[in-house]
A and B are shown apart, each in its own frame.
Chain A
Amino acid sequence: MEMIIQIAAAAMSAGTPLLFAVLGGLLIERSGIIQLGAEGVMLMGAVAAALCCIRTGSPAAALAAALAVGATLGLLHAFLTVSLRVNQIVSGLALTLFGSGLSAFLGRSIAGQPMPGAVPKLDLPFLEPVPAAGDLFAHLDALTWLSFALVIGMHLYLYRTSWGLHLRALGDSPQTADVMGIPVAAFRYGCVIAGTMLIALGGADLLLVYAPAWIEDMTAGRGWIAVALIIFARWNPLRALLAAYFFGALDALGFRIQLIGSDIPSYFLKMIPYVVTILMLMYLGWRNRGKPSGAPESLGVPYIREQRL
C-alpha cells in the first residue's frame, strides 16, 4: 500500500510538468494548429525561470518570466502558421531546435546552481488524518493545484461554454466557424499564445518543483512525449491528466527500481517510459483502427477564406 502511494505521489510530481505541456498542446491543436515545438518551449520556459529565480530569488517572478517567454514564442508560432501560413510542422520543429539551442546557451552560466526559492506549498492539515488522500494531497505545491484547476477549467471550457464550442468547431471545420461569424485567425492566435504559455509553464514547473537545478536539455524529450500524449489523450483534458500521470508513474518506477539496486543498466530503466509510450501508441492505433482518432479534422490545414473549393 505504501509503495503504491509512494509511486502515485511520484507519478503526480513527475507528471505535472507534462500535464501543463499536454494541456497547452491540446489547446493549440484544438484550434487546428499543429504544435511540435513543445520541447523547445519547455526548455525556454525552464531556462527563463531559472535565470529569473537566481537573479531575483522569487519563484513568482520566475513563473512570470516563463509565461512571458511562452507568450513570445507562441506569438511567433501563431504569426508563422496563421498569418504567413508556413508549414506548421516545419515551424514547430524550428521552434524546438531554436529553443533547445538558445536555452543551452543562456543557461551556461547557471548550470547546476540550486534555485534560491521554492514554489510555496498549500498545506491542508485537515487532510492529514485521511488515509491515502492525506499522503497525496496534504502538502502539494501551488503549481500542482493550478494544474488540477486547469484540467477541470479546460474541460468545462471545452464542453460547457460557447467559447469552447467555437474552439471545437474551429479545429474541425474553420469554414463553418467562419460562416458562423467566429473570427478564425484571432481565435487561433489566442489559442496558440495561451497554449504555448502553458507549455512554458510546464518547463518552469519541471525546474522549480521537480528538478533541483537547471541543466542543459533537462526536459530529456518530455516535450516530445507531451506531443505523443495528446494523441493518447485524444484531445481531451481529463484524459490528458491520466496520460500525464501514467507517464509520470513509469518515470518514477524506473527511478525506484534503480534505487533498489537492480542489475539492469540505468540506461534501460530510463528508457522504460519512452518505450512504453511507443507501445501504447501502437496498441491504441491498433485498437482504434478504422475509428475516428478524435483529432480535430482540420489539424494542420491553414485556412484561407477565398480559396476556391
Chain B
Amino acid sequence: MTLPYALEMRGIRKQFGSLVANDDVDFAAKTGEVHALLGENGAGKSTLMCMLSGVYRPTAGDILIRGRKVSIRSPKDALALGVGMVFQQFRLVPTLTAAENIILGEKSSVWRGASWMRRKTEEITAVAERFGLGITVDRPVWQMSVGEQQRVEIVKVLYRGADIILLDEPTSVLTPGEADRLFETLLKLRAAGKTVILTTHKLREVMAFADRISVMRKGRMLKTLNRLETNERELAQLMVGRNATGAVRPEAGTPGKPLLEVEGLTVEAGRGRTAVRGVSFTVREGEIVGIAGVAGNGQSELAEALAGLQAWSAGTIRVCGREWKRASVRTAIESGVSLVPENRMKSGLAGSLGIVDNLLMKTYREPERSRFGLLRGRRNREWARSLVERFDIRATGLDTPVRQLSGGNQQKLLLAREVDRDPKLMIAVHPTQGLDIGATESVHRLLLGLRASGRGVLLISEDLDEVMQLSDRILVMSGGSIVGEMSRENADRERIGLYMAGLRAVPGEAAS
C-alpha cells in the first residue's frame, strides 16, 4: 500500500505566552512533491516547520508521519522519523569543517582515526554528488559562501537519511543565480522520491517550482492549491488578504544639489576583513538612491560609516559639501543624517522604555525638550502624542514598553523620531524587513514624502522589488564594492541579479 501523504498535521495550535503563532492549522504534504508554504513574515510558517522538526512542541493537535500518529519531542525524534530541516539561520558550527558538521551527532563509532574519516568523507561526497550539491568537505564552514553553507546543510540532512526535507526561507540569503541552483537540487530530490516542504514569501519562486502551495495568514492555514490551477494574483490576494496595490510609483523628479558625496570609502570590519572596498557615489536632494545586494556584502558597514558609527580606513565622506574628519554620531546627527538601522530593536529603540522616552532619544538636548538639564515632561508628552497621531502608531499607551508594539508600529515609531527631526539625508537599511503589507506601504509613503520635499534618501534593501519600486537610481553591492549602477528606466531584474552574484559591469555592455 502506498500512502498518499508523507506527512499530515491536524488541528495544530502553538502559543508563545499570550501570542498565538499557529491556530487550528491543517496541513498535508504528499510523498514525492515539492510543497510550498506561502505567507508573509509572521504568518506562522516557520513555527509550523519548527514543530515538525522537534524544536517547538505543539500546544494542541496531531502530527502524522506516513500515516502514523507521532509525538516529536526533540530534533532527535524528528531525525529518527526521517524529518530533516534546513533552518533559515543555519545550524552549522562555523569552526568545524563541512564533514565534521555532517557527521556531528553520529554515534556509530567513538574513535575517529584517519581511515575512518576518509571513509566518511567518501560517503558524504557520494551523497553530495548524487544530488548535484558541490561542497568542499574539508573546509571550515566559516570560510564558505552562504550558498555553499546551505548546500552543506542539505547534504547533512540527506546524509542523516531524511526523506521529508523542510527548508525554512531557503532563498532569503541567496543571489538569484544561487536560488535557481537550489531549485534544481530540490527537483532532483523530488525525482529521488523525497518530500520537500519549503517556506517562502516570494510568489515568483512558488509559481516556478512548487507542485502544491499552501497559503498561511496570521497563524491560520487558508487554502492548499495546485500550482497549475492558480496564479500569482490569486496567491497574492490570499496572502495579504486584499488586493495588493503595489507600486506607488514616484514621478521622475529633477534632483538638486549633492547632499552626500562618498569617494573611495573603505571600511574594515574586524578579523582582518575589509567590508567596504573603495565605494564612491552621490546622493542628491530629492532623490532616492537604492543599494541592492544580498545581505552581508558590506551594506551594513557602509550604512554604519555614513551614520558615524563606524570608522573608515580610506576615502572621504562629504555631507552638504562639508567633509567629515572622523566617525562621530554627534557630527552625523548635527549635519542632518538620519539612520533607520538594520535591527530596530538592537540599535534603534530601547525595548523596555516607553514611546515618549524613545522619541526623545535624539532631541533631548534641544531647549524645546529640556530646560536647565531637566526634561519638560508635560510638553514632551503632548509632542509625543501628536507624533503618535501623525504617524498612526497603534499602542495601548504612551508609556507601553515599545518591545510590546508590533514590528510595524515599532518601525513607524522609529521613523517618526527620525522624520520629525527633518533630516537632510535619510539612510534606511532594510526598512520594511518583517513588516506586513500595510506597514510596508506607510514606510514607503514616508520615504517618498521625504523625496518630494527635497530630502535625499539612501535605501539599502535586500528586497529587489522594493529597491526597483522606489529608487531613482540603483546601485548593486557585492563583495564590498559597487559592481553596477543603473537608472530607474534601465533597471531590469535579471541584470541586477547578475551583478548581485558578483559579476562586474563591463563597459559598453548591452543589457542582457
* Closest chain A residue, CB of each to CB of B16: A308
Contact A173 B110 (CB under 8 A): no
Contact B110 A161 (CB under 8 A): yes
A177 interface hit (Cβ, 8 Å):
yes
Q: Binding site of B, secondary structure by majority: helix, strand, loop or mixed?
A: loop
Contact B93 A168 (CB under 8 A): yes
Inter-chain contact count A-B, CB under 8 Å?
82
B188 interface hit (Cβ, 8 Å):
no
For A309, the chain B residues whose CB sits under 8 A away are 89
Q: Which stretch in B96-104, B209-217, B246-254 binds the other chain?
A: B96-104
- Give, as a whole number of angstroms, the nearest-CB distance from B466 to chain A: 23
Q: A180-B75, A290-B270, A297-B94 are in contact. Are A162 and B107 (CB under 8 A)?
A: yes
B499 interface hit (Cβ, 8 Å):
no
Of B85, B103, B112, the residue contacting A179 (CB under 8 A) is: B85
Q: Bits for B17-61, please: 1 = Cβ < 8 Å to A, else 0.
A: 000000000000000000000000000000000000101110000
For B421, the chain A residues whose CB sits under 8 A away are none
- In the assembled complex, the Cα of A175 lies from the Cα of B92 at a distance in Å of 9
Identify which of residues 56-98 in chain B touch chain A, using a CB-to-CB cut-off of 8 Å: 56-57, 74-76, 79, 85, 87, 89, 91-96
* Closest chain B residue, CB of each to CB of A176: B91
- In the assembled complex, the Cα of A168 lies from the Cα of B101 at a distance in Å of 11
For A308, the chain B residues whose CB sits under 8 A away are 16
B113 interface hit (Cβ, 8 Å):
yes
Contact B272 A291 (CB under 8 A): yes
Contact A163 B74 (CB under 8 A): no
Q: Bits for B257-275, please: 1 = Cβ < 8 Å to A, else 0.
A: 0000000000000111000
For A290, the chain B residues whose CB sits under 8 A away are 270-272
Contact B105 A292 (CB under 8 A): no
Contact B94 A179 (CB under 8 A): no
- Give, as a whole number of angstroms, the nearest-CB distance from B269 to chain A: 9
B372 interface hit (Cβ, 8 Å):
no
B512 interface hit (Cβ, 8 Å):
no
- In the assembled complex, the Cα of A181 lies from the Cα of B77 at a distance in Å of 8
Contact B105 A161 (CB under 8 A): no
- Give, as a whole number of angstroms, the nearest-CB distance from A293 to chain B: 11
Q: A162-B107, A181-B105 are in contact. Are A305 and B272 (CB under 8 A)?
A: no
Contact A172 B93 (CB under 8 A): yes
Contact residues on A (Cβ < 8 Å of other chain), bracket: 20 to 34
Of B55, B87, B96, the residue contacting A169 (CB under 8 A) is: B96
- Give, as a whole number of angstroms, the nearest-CB distance from B149 to chain A: 12
For A168, the chain B residues whose CB sits under 8 A away are 93, 95-96
Contact B55 A306 (CB under 8 A): yes
B106 interface hit (Cβ, 8 Å):
yes
B109 interface hit (Cβ, 8 Å):
yes
- In the assembled complex, the Cα of A136 lies from the Cα of B56 at a distance in Å of 57
A118 interface hit (Cβ, 8 Å):
no
- In the assembled complex, the Cα of A197 lies from the Cα of B85 at a distance in Å of 38
For A173, the chain B residues whose CB sits under 8 A away are 91-94
Q: Bits for A266-299, please: 1 = Cβ < 8 Å to B, else 0.
A: 0000000000000000000000001110000100
Q: List chain A positions with a Cβ less than 8 A from chain B.
A: 160-163, 165-166, 168-169, 172-173, 175-182, 290-292, 297, 305-306, 308-309
Sample 9 A-B pairs with CB under 8 A, ordered by A number. Answer: A161-B112, A168-B93, A172-B95, A176-B101, A176-B104, A177-B93, A180-B79, A297-B95, A306-B57
Q: List chain B positions with a Cβ less than 8 A from chain A.
A: 16, 53, 55-57, 74-76, 79, 85, 87, 89, 91-96, 100-101, 103-107, 109-113, 270-272
Known: A173-B91, A176-B91. 18 other contacts (CB 8 A): A160-B111, A162-B106, A162-B107, A165-B96, A165-B100, A166-B105, A168-B93, A173-B94, A176-B92, A178-B55, A178-B74, A180-B75, A180-B79, A180-B105, A181-B79, A182-B105, A290-B271, A305-B74
